[in-house]
Amino acid sequence: MQEVEIRPLAICWRRFFGRTCNMTRTHWLILICGSLIAFVWEIFQMPFFEPGDLEPFERTIRCGIASLGDGVILLTAYSLAGLRGGHAWLWQAAKMPYAIYFGFGLVVAIAVKMIATSLPANSFLSWRYSELMPQEPVTGLALIPIAMWTIVPALTILLVRFARAEPD
């Protein structure tokens, strides 16, 4: 059996992630706090979705996966806003970075909801709304997920500001 030296592999791995995952403390706070807040929201909005044939444990796992996805969307929105407003945009009063941050989340949420509700009902990535879900009458967009993408990003910003007194 051929022996593989681990050290060069570890150096390559560190170089790759050092370049692609150069996340500051604020990035990590956005990802972690945003995912946790989104998880709480996802759990509380469960009655507004059809459970299908999923057990409560499976629905909770799906909420966890969805909340991690929400955290990644929040992190991407934060990074895109940083391209326009600089790395300290979260502590400044400029309006454009905030519009990018909230707007990106809303656009992605609407796109994901449209795709997921159009997939076959038995697909892993699909879901259906229950009769309890309030919907906008003209477009049929569900209002609770739209509310989520205004409230969760705002709470994430407040929590990150509380956790960090100054920019990175």
**Residue 142: beta bridge partners?**
135
pTM of the model: 0.81
Is residue 13 over pLDDT 60? no
Contacts of 166 (CB under 8 A, 6+ apart): 91
The pLDDT value recorded for residue 159 is: 94
| Residue range 54-75: mean pLDDT, rounded | 90
| Residue range 19-37: mean pLDDT, rounded | 85
Question: Hey, what amino acid is at 137?
Answer: P
Structure-token match 């259906």, residue found: 128
Domains of the chain by residue range: 24-163
